[in-house]
Amino acid sequence: MGNLLSFPMNAWDITKDKEAAPNERLLSALSFLRDCLEGGVEDLDADSVQRCMDAADTALSAAMGTERKLLTQSLRIEEMERIASTDELTGAYNRRGFEQEFKRVLAAASRYNETGVLVYVDLDGFKPINDTYGHAAGDLVLCEVVRALRDNIRPHDFVARLGGDEFAILLTRTAWKDGLERAEILKHVLNTTYVYWSGNHIAVRASLGFQRFGPDDCNKKLLIQADHAMYEAKRVRAATSPSRSDIQ
């Protein structure tokens, strides 16, 4: 083994090739070391030992390069998944992200016998805002709605924009009474919020539907039930409340 000419020169050349891919250099360096050390280290001359050390350094460098590449790819995938599950305008979960989180929450509820409350929100009189002031004003209202909701929930609760002017909030790991109290707070906050736009204060008005969930519930059925509760609240509100302007 002391004769350098007996070493696997092709593998050695690859380990020194800076243009080679990190994984190719890593495999070549390890192959080189395996062949060099196969007969033991006693008969290796100084040049051979140095080459082994260089190959080991190459293997370490290539392994670190591969690890960095994998980390970069992993972060990129995470970012793509985040973008795919996030509403671009408001930064809240979109419907896809919400459904994923809802399934995860229900799985945890089944595993740990937890309960929670689903809140379904639909803005009242939102179309006239767009018609009167334009979509930029409407977009600002949507963003303010998400901000108001986030400011009044716990860190482990979730807010989503399901589409248009419809939103959902998951109040997780809470009893029905406590969740209902929190939902009533959200209702009050939304219906006392005003958004300033071009010298006007635009009133945010919303109807909310509440639905308890537990270990054995289905996310799709819960959304339908909460949606129905919201429309019933909207119907009652329209029948009992005098009309009022959304602009002050």
DSSP string of 128-146, one letter each residue: HHHHHH-HHHHHHHHHHHH
Helix/strand/coil for 215: coil
Q: Taking a C-beta distance cutoff of 8 angstroms, is the pair 166, 122 a contact?
A: yes
**Strand ordering across the sheet containing 116-123:** 158-163, 166-171, 116-123, 206-213
For the stretch 152-161, pLDDT in tens is 999 999 999 9
Pairing of the two strands 158-163 and 194-197 = unpaired
CA distance 97 to 83: 9
Tell me if residue 47 falls in helix, strand or coil: helix
The reported pLDDT for the residue numbered 43 is 63
| Token pair belonging to 9 | 């020169």
* Residue in this structure with the two tokens 């909701």, named with its chain if needed: 149
Residue type at 72 in one-letter notation:
T
The secondary structure of residue 158, as a DSSP letter, is E
Distance between CA atoms of 185 and 152, rounded to whole angstroms?
Answer: 8
Count of residues making up the chain: 248
Architecture category of domain 95-240 in CATH: 2-Layer Sandwich (3.30)
Parts of the chain with a pLDDT under 50: 1-9, 11-12, 14-15, 244-248
Q: What is the predicted pLDDT for the residue at 5?
A: 35
Helices 126-133 + 135-150 axis angle, to 10: 140
> In 3-state terms, what secondary structure has residue 200?
strand
| Side chain identity at residue 74, one-letter code | S
Tokens of 212: 């308890």
Contact 219, 228 (CB under 8 A): no
Domain ranges for the chain: 4-84, 95-240
Name the 3-class secondary structure at 112: helix
